[in-house]
Amino acid sequence: MADFYSADAPKTLRKLRQLKPDMFKAFIDFDQTVFKDGAISGKMKQLMAITAAHVTQCPWCIDVHTKAAVEHGATDEEIAEAVFVAMAMRAGAAFSHSIISLNSAEEAHKH
Protein backbone atom coordinates (compact mmCIF):
# COMPACT_ATOMS: atom_id res chain seq x y z
CA MET A 1 0.00 0.00 0.00
CA ALA A 2 1.23 3.48 -0.80
CA ASP A 3 2.28 5.77 2.02
CA PHE A 4 0.06 8.74 1.21
CA TYR A 5 1.37 10.75 4.13
CA SER A 6 5.11 10.38 3.63
CA ALA A 7 7.18 13.54 3.79
CA ASP A 8 8.22 13.00 0.15
CA ALA A 9 4.67 12.70 -1.22
CA PRO A 10 4.28 16.43 -2.03
CA LYS A 11 7.25 16.17 -4.40
CA THR A 12 4.90 14.35 -6.74
CA LEU A 13 3.20 17.70 -7.28
CA ARG A 14 6.05 18.51 -9.65
CA LYS A 15 4.47 16.08 -12.10
CA LEU A 16 1.15 17.87 -11.79
CA ARG A 17 2.92 21.16 -12.51
CA GLN A 18 4.66 19.62 -15.55
CA LEU A 19 1.44 18.17 -16.94
CA LYS A 20 -0.66 21.33 -16.59
CA PRO A 21 1.67 24.29 -15.97
CA ASP A 22 -0.94 26.97 -16.74
CA MET A 23 -3.50 25.49 -14.38
CA PHE A 24 -0.86 24.92 -11.72
CA LYS A 25 0.28 28.55 -11.94
CA ALA A 26 -3.31 29.80 -11.87
CA PHE A 27 -3.96 27.83 -8.69
CA ILE A 28 -0.78 29.09 -7.01
CA ASP A 29 -1.57 32.69 -7.99
CA PHE A 30 -5.14 32.31 -6.69
CA ASP A 31 -3.93 30.76 -3.44
CA GLN A 32 -1.43 33.56 -2.85
CA THR A 33 -4.04 36.21 -3.59
CA VAL A 34 -6.57 34.66 -1.21
CA PHE A 35 -4.18 34.82 1.75
CA LYS A 36 -3.18 38.47 1.29
CA ASP A 37 -4.42 41.06 3.77
CA GLY A 38 -7.83 42.35 2.76
CA ALA A 39 -11.05 42.86 4.65
CA ILE A 40 -9.72 39.97 6.76
CA SER A 41 -6.10 40.08 7.90
CA GLY A 42 -3.59 37.54 6.62
CA LYS A 43 -3.16 36.27 10.17
CA MET A 44 -6.89 35.65 10.56
CA LYS A 45 -7.02 33.95 7.16
CA GLN A 46 -4.21 31.61 8.24
CA LEU A 47 -6.07 30.80 11.45
CA MET A 48 -9.18 30.09 9.38
CA ALA A 49 -7.05 27.85 7.16
CA ILE A 50 -5.80 25.94 10.21
CA THR A 51 -9.41 25.26 11.17
CA ALA A 52 -10.33 24.19 7.64
CA ALA A 53 -7.22 22.03 7.35
CA HIS A 54 -8.12 20.17 10.54
CA VAL A 55 -11.68 19.65 9.31
CA THR A 56 -10.46 18.34 5.94
CA GLN A 57 -7.62 16.50 7.72
CA CYS A 58 -4.92 17.60 5.28
CA PRO A 59 -1.58 17.16 7.07
CA TRP A 60 0.29 19.31 4.56
CA CYS A 61 -2.22 22.15 4.91
CA ILE A 62 -2.05 21.92 8.70
CA ASP A 63 1.74 22.21 8.51
CA VAL A 64 1.92 25.01 5.94
CA HIS A 65 -0.86 27.16 7.39
CA THR A 66 0.28 26.75 10.99
CA LYS A 67 3.77 27.94 10.03
CA ALA A 68 2.26 30.80 8.01
CA ALA A 69 0.04 31.78 10.95
CA VAL A 70 3.09 31.94 13.23
CA GLU A 71 4.88 34.07 10.62
CA HIS A 72 1.85 36.40 10.68
CA GLY A 73 2.14 36.69 14.46
CA ALA A 74 -0.36 34.07 15.63
CA THR A 75 0.18 32.83 19.14
CA ASP A 76 0.07 29.21 20.27
CA GLU A 77 -3.15 30.06 22.11
CA GLU A 78 -4.77 31.38 18.91
CA ILE A 79 -3.67 28.27 17.01
CA ALA A 80 -5.11 26.05 19.75
CA GLU A 81 -8.44 27.90 19.55
CA ALA A 82 -8.48 27.44 15.77
CA VAL A 83 -8.04 23.69 16.32
CA PHE A 84 -10.87 23.67 18.87
CA VAL A 85 -13.12 25.44 16.35
CA ALA A 86 -12.38 22.59 13.93
CA MET A 87 -13.20 20.06 16.65
CA ALA A 88 -16.52 21.77 17.30
CA MET A 89 -17.34 21.87 13.59
CA ARG A 90 -16.59 18.17 13.10
CA ALA A 91 -18.49 17.20 16.23
CA GLY A 92 -21.36 19.46 15.22
CA ALA A 93 -21.55 17.81 11.82
CA ALA A 94 -21.67 14.37 13.41
CA PHE A 95 -24.36 15.60 15.80
CA SER A 96 -26.53 17.10 13.07
CA HIS A 97 -26.07 14.09 10.79
CA SER A 98 -27.30 11.82 13.59
CA ILE A 99 -30.74 12.68 12.24
CA ILE A 100 -29.97 10.44 9.25
CA SER A 101 -29.12 7.48 11.50
CA LEU A 102 -32.13 7.99 13.71
CA ASN A 103 -34.50 8.33 10.74
CA SER A 104 -32.93 5.32 9.00
CA ALA A 105 -33.25 3.20 12.14
CA GLU A 106 -36.87 4.24 12.55
CA GLU A 107 -37.57 3.35 8.92
CA ALA A 108 -35.79 -0.02 9.28
CA HIS A 109 -37.87 -0.88 12.38
CA LYS A 110 -41.06 -0.33 10.35
CA HIS A 111 -40.11 -3.07 7.87
Mean model confidence pLDDT for the chain: 92
The CATH code that applies to domain 41-111 is 1.20.1290.10
Other beta carbons within 10 angstroms of residue 44's beta carbon come to: 16
pLDDT tens per residue across span 34-64: 999 999 999 999 999 999 999 999 988 999 9
Global pTM reads 0.83
How far apart CA 103 and CA 63 sit, in angstroms, is 39
